[in-house]
Structures are given as structure tokens and as C-alpha cells.
Structure 1
Amino acid sequence: MIPMNGPEHFNFDAFRDCLFTVIVNKSTPDEARKGSKRSSIRKKPTTSQTSFTDPEPSELADFAEYLAGGIFASLPDELQNLTHRAIQDDTTLSDKWSLPLTLSVLEEVTAYIPGEVNDSLTAYGLVEAPKSDVQSFITPVLSAYIAVVTTPPPKWIETRTTACEICDRDWVPLTYHHLIPKEVHAKVLKRGWHEEHRLNSVAWLCRACHSFVHRMASNEELAREWYTVDLICSREDVQKWAQWVSRVRWKKT
């Protein structure tokens, strides 16, 4: 079972999302994707197959979670831990996992996918012999996954927004907040909380929200628990603050 908490599991989350996208595409009739009036008509499964019929998003999400756990655990360690920095530092790794993937690499990966996963893919019509097999199913998943996890880090100064990322006010000056405070960078690397390329990630905040963030948690807590804007904005106290401060407008002088 793959643990799913903490920044070190970014790769699993990315793999699961890529897998979910492929499942959604394959579970949605062509007519529905094209907006046809026949979108409600589904090809009936054979007697040996189950099929998603007008699947609920939660059902697909649960199914994707199950498949992702089984497939990801079977992947080579180097693929599970693939990053932009890893392929920059290791030409052998870069050559092997560069896109498009070679047939031998795909065969290596699919050889270790658990049998129960293969059975589930067949049972739900995601793999239909002779038209498709596990390899053809997993290829777009792996390609999307590799593209995500090997994307080079952004130049953070180029991420500047036009409005505060907490209160959305666009008429006040913005400052940049180091999401992983500089004072704890050494501890972050020593403890392995984040990869080095993420140390200088920033959020663009007005001065009032910037000060609020530093009052709400210590630098170590910010680095460990509140290292993205989404995480910060998930807090109830931040939401209440944002609602209040967004109504504040400076009087004209």
C-alpha cells in the first residue's frame, strides 16, 4: 500500500492523476466526448465483462486509487522516484526514461504489474483483447506521468500574480512570501522534507496577508505543513481572514 501523505509522495499523486485521466477518457463514450445526442447509448459489455455505466466521479476515483496503488508499487524504484534533477544528474536514467518510451522499457514495466490489476482492467473493459492490452493501456499513463515529474522547476520570479493569492485584492502592492522560509532551509534538506529545487518557491501576497501567514505558524511549521498556497488557504482561520481583509479598501488621500 502506498502512503499518500507528505511532499515525498508527489510522484504517486502524479501517477494516480494521470491514471485517472486515462480511465475517465476510456470510460466516457466517444459520442459523449463529441457532444452527440447519442451520448446516453453505451456499448453493452460482454457476459465476461463488467462496465462503468454513467460512472460517478467518486466511483472512478476509488477505482483509480486501487489501480494506482497496485501498479505504482510494481514500478522500478528509479521510475517511482524519477525527478527532473535525477535525469539531469544521470544520463543513463535520462536515456532510459526519455519519451517516447521504447518497446523494451514498456515490456519491462508491464511484466511486473500484478495479475489482479490486469484482471480488473479486463473486467471493466479498459483492456479488450485483441484490440488492446495492458501495455497499450499503461503507455499513455506512463508518458503523462514522466512528463509531469521531470518538468523543470519554474523560475519563481516569473510566477508573479496580479492579485494577492490569499485575499485576491489587486489594488495593493504585493510582496513575495517564501513558502519554505529561508531560516529553515538547512533543516528541511537534512530532514528530507522537500527537494532542493522547491526551497525558493514563493507566493505573492499583500503585506497584510504576508504578516498574517507568519503570525499563524512558526517557520518550521510553515515548511512542514503549510508549504503551498492551497494548503495555507485550506485553514479556516485563513479563510476568515481573507473574507475580512478583502473588504478593506484604502481611503483616497
Structure 2
Amino acid sequence: MPTDDDRAHERETSNFQTFRECLSDATIRKLAIQPTKAKKSNKKNKLGRKNAIKPVVVTQPKSQHGEEGEQDTNNDAEGLADFTDYLASEIFSSFPPDLRLLSHAAVKEDVALKERYTDPLPNHIVEALVAPLPPSVPDSLTSYNVVPSSSDVANFLAPVLSAYCAAVTAPPPIWISTRTTYCELCLREWIPLTYHHLIPRAVHAKALKRGWHTEDVLNSVAWLCRACHSFVHGVAGNEELAREWYTVDLLAERDDVQKWVRWVGRVRWKSR
């Protein structure tokens, strides 16, 4: 029978994986290449927004001579995985125990804990969590051009911390029975998953009124890793997602999605 220590270890391991995904998503957004103006395609299912996120290229830290190191594009995913894994370990290890073990059950039982780690996190809480970070964290973030200076670390980590707290304290979704063990786009297994409303809730009323969908399919969801979830919302607005990209198969037909999943699918975490 699992002991309390065993359960605490499992919770901390699961929370670390969630935090690593939140940090990875934020890092990818910071390092994403801004695309040039896209040409229109005649094929409807090839359309994408002009500001669609492109796969990232991790910039190597500068050498002692001030020159940027070269990195083969095929190694970008592996380099990002190693960088994020190391950074997540350094940051997560500095958290107080109550944050490392945060859960929905914990905040239900402890009102003070819920108020302390509410989403979004208050500035004074973020500052208190960032203060004990080892010097390697701001050094790494600035070396890889994720933040311009060490004074920007708190601003960068604030939404990461808020996303982590929101994720680990969220109640089980009503669609838990449809949960998969892998991201339905990039197919990575044993990675923290989020549920994506294939027909965004913000346009449910419009979808019914205009006859885009019937009520029985409004709550259809796909289980996606955090990176793929963010990418999907970056390539199309809510109305376009509801009208044109309302199934995993339709999303997977897009050229930009195919390019993305080929790249992000190579981002593999090492065992902690």
C-alpha cells in the first residue's frame, strides 16, 4: 500500500512535469520565429493566419569571443528539451514544499493556501518565489536570449507560475473519460495534457445560431500537450476554429500544423 511519502513523491513528480510544460510553452513563445507575410492559398484547408507561430530555433549562448555558436536545425528540438529540462529542475527545486505539492485537494482543504496561490499570482508572491532562485537561472535565461536582462526574470516567470498553479489546482474536467495517454497532435506520450475545446466556448452561441454545429457536439474536446494547445490557438481565431478546424483530423491536415508537430514531436524530456 502506498505510504504518504510515496503519494507526496508522485504528486511532486507530476507537478514537476506540469511546471516543465508551462515553462517550455513560455520559452517556445519567446524564441519563436516571426513569419513573413504568407501568400494566400486557393485551398481552403491550407489557410492559416498570417501571424501563425513557426517552429523555434534556440539561439546558442555567446562564446567568450562574443560570437554566437552555430547549431544545426535538426538539433534545435533536442537542445530546447535539454535547456528547458535543466532550467525547470533548477527553478522547481527552489520552490517551497507547499508549491511543489500543490493540488486541487490541497487548496480545497486550506483557504490560506488557495489565497496565496490564486491565479494570477500577486506580484509580491512572484517576487518571493523568484528571490531564492540560484544565479544559474537568470544567467541561463539571458544567455539564451529568453529575457534581455536578469531584472526581467520575474516578468517572464510570472505567467509561467500562474499557469502552473492554475493547472495543478484545477478540478478534474467533465471530459476526463475521453482522456488519452498522448497528445492527439504531436503523439508524445506521458506528457502533461490539457483539454482543447474543438469548438471554443466563446462562440458556442454563435455556432448554434448560424448553424455551424448542433448542440450535441459543442463540448467536443481534444487532449493536447500545452505546446500544441497554444500553437492551435495561435494559428486561428475562435470563429475560424469553430467553422473550419473543429476536429483533430481537420487540424492535422493543415500544413503549418504538420510542420509544427514534426518539430515539437522531437522535443523529448529526460527522466528526472
TM-score by length of 2: 0.49
Cα distance in 2 for residues equivalent to 1:56 and 1:116: 21
Q: Indicate the residue corresponding to 1:154 in structure 2.
A: 173
Q: How does 1:79-98 map to 2 (within 5 A)?
A: 79-98=99-118
Matches of 2:58 and 2:88 in 1, distance apart? Answer: 26
Which residue of 58, 65, 77 corresponds with 2:85? 65
1:51–1:125 CA contact under 8 A, matched in 2: no
Alignment-derived partner of residue 124 in structure 1: 144
1:121-149 CA distances to partner (integer Å, 9 max, x unpaired)?
A: 0111111039x611011112111111110
**TM-fit CA distance, 1:36:** 9.3
Residue matched to 1:137: 156
Q: Could you say if the C-alpha distance between residues 159 and 149 of structure 1 is closer, same or farther in structure 2, counting changes exceeding 3 Å?
A: closer
5 Å-filtered alignment, 1:1-253, equals: 7-8=10-11, 9-31=13-35, 34-35=51-52, 56-129=76-149, 133-155=152-174, 159-160=176-177
CA contact (8 A) 2:18 2:168 kept: yes
Runs of 4+ in 1 over 3 A off after TM superposition: 39-55, 158-161
Secondary structure of the residue that 1:134 maps to in structure 2? Answer: helix
Cα deviation per residue 1:5-46 (whole Å; 9 max; x = unaligned)? x74310000001111111111111233782599x99999988
Q: Is the 8 A contact 2:61 2:143 kept in 1?
A: no
Q: What CA distance in whole angstroms lies between the structure 2 residues aligned with 1:40 and 1:24?
A: 6
| Normalised TM-score (structure 1) | 0.52
Which one is further off, 64-73 or 43-52? 43-52
Segments of structure 1 that go 5 or more residues without pairing to the other structure are: 1-5, 167-253
5+ unaligned residues in a row in structure 2: which ranges?
Answer: 1-8, 37-49, 182-272
Alpha carbons of structure 1 residues 31 and 41: separation in structure 2 relative to 1, 3 Å: farther
Q: Distance in 1 between matches of 2:24 and 2:56?
A: 22
* Count of residue correspondences: 154
Choose 23-32 or 65-74, whichever is displaced more.
23-32
- Alpha-carbon displacement from aligned partner over 1:56-115 (angstroms, at most 9, x marks no partner): 211111110000000000011111111011111111101110011111101101101110
Question: Which protein has greater RCO, CA pairs closer than 8 Å, 6+ apart?
Answer: 2
3-state SS, counterpart of residue 153 of structure 1: coil
Partner Cα separation in structure 1 for residue 165 and residue 33 of structure 2 = 27
Higher Cα Rg, which structure: 1
Structure 1 contact 83–149 (Cα < 8 Å) conserved: yes
In 2, distance between residues paired with 1:36 and 1:80? 31
User: Pairwise CA RMSD of aligned residues?
Assistant: 3.6
Counterpart CA distance in 2 for 1:146 and 1:68 is 15
| Cα contact 1:29–1:42 (8 A) shared by 2 | no
Per-residue deviation, 1:48: 5.5
Aligned mates of 2:173, 2:80 — CA distance in 1: 32
